[in-house]
Chains A and B, each alone.
Chain A
Amino acid sequence: MSTLTPPQPAPSPAPEPSPARRPKPARLSLADVIRTGGSGLRSRPMRVFLSALGIAIGIAAMIGVVGISTSSQEELSRKLAALGTNLLTAEPGQSFTGEQAHLPDDAVRMARAVPEMESVSAIGKTDAKVYRNDRVPPQETGGLSVYAARTDLPDTVGIEVTGGRWLNAANTKYPAVVLGSRTAQQLGIDEAGPDAQVWLGDRWFTVIGLLAPNELAPELDSAALVGWPAAERELGFDGYPTTVYTRAEEAAVTDVQEILGATVNPESPNEVEVSRPSDALAAKQATDDALSGLLLGLGAVALLVGGVGVANTMVISVLERRAEIGLRRSLGATRGQIRTQFLCESLLLSALGGVGGVALGIAVTTGYAGYQGWPTVVPLWAMAGGVGATLIIGGLAGFYPAVRAARLPPTEALAAA
């Protein structure tokens, strides 16, 4: 046995002066804080996964909504870039007396006189209707219209001919017709050629070409287009254009838009309706924003529920780990260090959900955009915002449990073992 301690008077003769150096707690390095916070997560992987999943679903919903709407906007701007935003149309409005007005027959020539104008073309609506054959009852028009078209129409509108050819100087005098995409589908015409005949204005017309769908001029999709002279001769067309299409220089579009009415109809400019089809396309997009707002709100609710899940997990974690808290206090952890540990654990837990949610949101966006044939765009601010929001939620959710853990008296914590 070891040596006995020599006997001594108790208590000690004089109270020793307190040592000059008061004990000062050491600071944990950031790596130690993260490692300690993560230790609680490593020991309960299933619970961590499920809690993080709650957060991830909320974030994924929000990223998905933002990503899908951004992708569709990107698709629109690409489309507009391809179609051009410099197309302007002029149509007859109503006259002062409320009757249907008409554009002057030299509207195209006058529009062409504007220096900033790149190209001008026109169509004119006829009263004729087009049918699959001569046995279809006349009232079943199928919403299709017959227009006289100028030969320079494709250059101005940017419409594509997918089959056959467009009207030219040679065939405009003859019963030849070019069909819009919906018209061709409705009349059951798959291919242009001498065999493809449609019943148009009480006689057979040969389909010489088919058009691709065009979003800037959707009225052409359900149109049958015949040459200007043929329309006048065969269909009793009055020769007034009903839509003048113009392409102006990109920089001068708004200026041209203002003067176009007066240019095509100097006598009564207020009887002309000028519009810019690309604006209508963009406006259609804007109406989708209301739905996006609703979905974003749902995502926020999901995120909130996820945050409650994290708070619940943290409260349970603190209850279960009282013994660990007691041990750490006995090893010299301050209340602040215990608080930091649990706060860090909560932040790590929700950050895990946030990163997972961003990845899930990108996957959802990619999948949907791919299905729609859009480019995938997820804005950086949405990703950063998603992770940032989870950190705020983690901080809020972990705050109360962390404070509770820190307040636990060490003796009580150790007794819980």
Chain B
Amino acid sequence: MRPPVVDLDGVAKTYGDVAALADAHLTVRRGEMLAIVGPSGSGKSTMLNIMGTLARPTAGTVRIDGHAVDDLSDRELSALRARTIGFVFQSFHLAGGVPALDAVADGLLYSGLPRGDRRRLAEAALRRVGLGPRLYSEPHQLSGGEKQRVAIARAVVGDPPLLLADEPTGALDSRSGAVVMELLHELHGAGTTVVVITHDRDIAESLPREVRIKDGRIEHDSAALRQEAVAR
């Protein structure tokens, strides 16, 4: 069995009196592709923050790529993110005036690689997402879909075992969105673990595994259902 990349065990997160996430159990193994789907306010962003080690849980244990998040200091978590997790955001997060090649190379800034290597890998990543001719384009010269492909290239340039995509098609028209989803499928095909956080049920249903979340609780996990079916 492949080792788990994400392992949540009884994870809860409360903000004051509000429980954003309660008693969540979830295991994502290497090479999986899944959707975490739910309406806004369901707790899926909290889930993303906890899986991405950007926030610590109030209760329960989180293991990312074998590391117990509780045991790690803030510095060590930063290092874990630099090596293990790639993020894709709905709003791209591309700085104005920075060419695509530099934006993607920045994805490796905190990895310890020298600049020449970072730029070389960035060029390869941009070619991989089909933006070979757009290496020196700045964000204002790119379409929404192209911007998100630059952001995806930045997330995968270090070949992280886990890719977290937060509403990756949320700011795109349906055609550009389809291209981005296709790209994520390709990355998954090449072995990357892809977790897509979305409110879009169609996208969720198109992925191999679907985890539905509502009011801070996981109410449906297609993998768990299959597992029960096998058990019967």
Residue from A2, A5, A337 within 8 A of B185 (CB atoms): A2
Report if B71 contacts A (CB, 8 A).
yes
Given contacts A1-B208, A331-B106, whether A9 and B7 have CB atoms under 8 Å apart is no
The answer on a CB contact under 8 Å between B25 and A24 is: no
Q: 27 A-B contacts, Cβ less than 8 Å apart?
A: A1-B208, A2-B33, A4-B209, A5-B223, A7-B226, A8-B1, A8-B29, A8-B227, A10-B27, A15-B63, A15-B68, A16-B3, A18-B68, A23-B79, A23-B82, A25-B79, A26-B112, A43-B95, A43-B96, A329-B54, A331-B106, A331-B107, A332-B81, A332-B110, A334-B79, A334-B110, A410-B55
Choice from B49, B54, B63, B114 contacting A16 with Cβ under 8 Å: B63
- With both chains docked as a complex, state the minimum distance between the C-beta of B44 and any C-beta of chain A, in angstroms: 13
Contacts of A27 on B, CB cut-off 8 Å? 112
Interface positions, chain B 79-118, Cβ under 8 Å from A, are 79-85, 87, 89, 91, 93, 95-98, 106-107, 109-112, 114-115
Number of interface residues of A (CB under 8 A): 49
Known contacts A8-B227, A12-B27, A18-B67; decide if A24 and B208 are in contact (CB<8 Å). no
Within 8 Å by CB of B83, from A7, A15, A23, A36, lies: A23
Any B CB within 8 A of the CB of A31 = yes
Say yes or no: B54 contacts A410, CB within 8 Å.
Answer: yes
Which residue from chain A places its CB closest to the CB of B160 in the assembled complex?
A: A332
CB–CB A335/B81 < 8 A: no
Which A residues lie at the B interface, using CB under 8 A?
1-12, 15-16, 18-19, 22-29, 31-32, 36, 39, 42-43, 323-324, 326-337, 409-411, 414, 417
> Closest approach, in angstroms, between the C-beta of A41 and any C-beta of chain B?
12
Q: Which of B1, B49, B63, B82 is A331 in contact with, Cβ under 8 Å?
A: B82
Contact of A330 with B54 at beta-carbon distance under 8 Å, contacts A8-B1, A19-B67 already known:
yes
B110 x A333 contact (CB < 8 A): yes
Are A11 and B110 interface neighbours, CB within 8 A?
Answer: no
Contact of A23 (CB < 8 Å), options: B4, B55, B67, B96 = B67
Q: Which of A2, A29, A324, A333 contacts B78 (CB 8 A)?
A: A333
Q: Most chain-A CB neighbours within 10 Å: which of B66, B77, B81? A: B81
| Complex A-B, nearest 10 residue pairs according to Cβ-Cβ distance, in ascending order | A332-B82, A26-B112, A7-B227, A23-B79, A332-B110, A25-B79, A334-B78, A23-B80, A410-B54, A332-B81
- Chain A residues positioned under 8 Å from B87 (CB to CB): 330-331
Q: Which single residue of chain A is at the shortest CB-CB distance from B78?
A: A334
Q: Tell me if B54 and A414 are in contact (CB < 8 A).
A: yes
Q: Which residue of A lies closest to B61 (CB)?
A: A15
Which of A5, A18, A36, A327 is close to B66, meaning CB atoms less than 8 Å apart?
A18
B200: A residues at CB distance < 8 A: none
Cβ contacts under 8 Å, A323 to chain B: 91, 93
Tell me the bound Cα distance from A10 to B25 in angstroms.
8
Q: Does B52 contact A (CB under 8 A)?
A: yes
**B32: interface (CB < 8 Å):** yes
Query: Who on chain A is nearest to B230 by CB?
Result: A7
B76 lies within 8 A of A22 (CB): yes
Residues of B within 8 A of A16 (CB): 3, 63, 66
Cβ A332 vs Cβ B230 within 8 A: no
B1-38 vs A, CB cutoff 8 Å, 1 = contact: the mask equals: 11110010100000000000000011101011100000
